[in-house]
Amino acid sequence: MRLYRYRKDLGRSDLYVLHHIRKGFRKMIEANRLQVMFAGECFEQLKLPAWRRVSPLRYELGTVKWRPVHITVIRNCDVKKIAEYLSFPKTNILNTLFSFSALPVAAAEQSGDIQKFKPDFVYKNIVCYAVVTQTVFR
């Protein structure tokens, strides 16, 4: 079965959340409240999701694999600040970024209709998240 880089079944509500995530990132950067730990090529241990089309309007997680993309690494507390600024739960933000293939993860698996993934990793002794720069910082 063919694997796709991006899901094509995401609806208006997902785009709405992504729009507000982008807006939150921009506002936090303008206010100097976001500390970028690293910006550059994706690390080998971080992988992006590849999606499998089950039916015309339904995609499932196929696998995770490394792709050469530009990432921005931010701290866990900065993701919490963005979640508080937007009044969204942090899990909604992470799930939306993962659905748009904008959140590199260490590991992921599909369990029924639920995707389980481990998005955080330790970078310079600090728990961080990586986001794909071209998707989030437009």
Residue segments in the chain with a per-residue pLDDT below the cut of 70: none
Quote the pLDDT of residue 129: 92
Domain membership of residue 57 as a residue range: 3-136
The amino acid sitting at 38 is F
d(CA 105, CA 17): 20
Model pLDDT, residue 137: 79
What pLDDT, on a 0 to 100 scale, did the predictor assign at position 110? 83
Instruction: State the pTM of this model.
Output: 0.91
Q: Is 129 exposed, middle or buried (0-12, 13-18, 19+ CB in 10 A)?
A: buried
Alpha-carbon distance 15 to 129, whole Å?
21
The overall average pLDDT reported for the chain is: 90
| Residue 75, CA atoms < 13 Å, CB-side half-sphere | 12
Strands, E, within the chain: which ranges?
3-4, 36-41, 48-55, 58-65, 70-75, 107-111, 114-118, 121-123, 126-132
Total of domains in the chain: 1
The confidence score (pLDDT) of residue 111 equals: 80
> Residue 101: its pLDDT value, please?
92
> Which pLDDT value is given to residue 19?
93
pLDDT at residue 112, as a whole number: 75
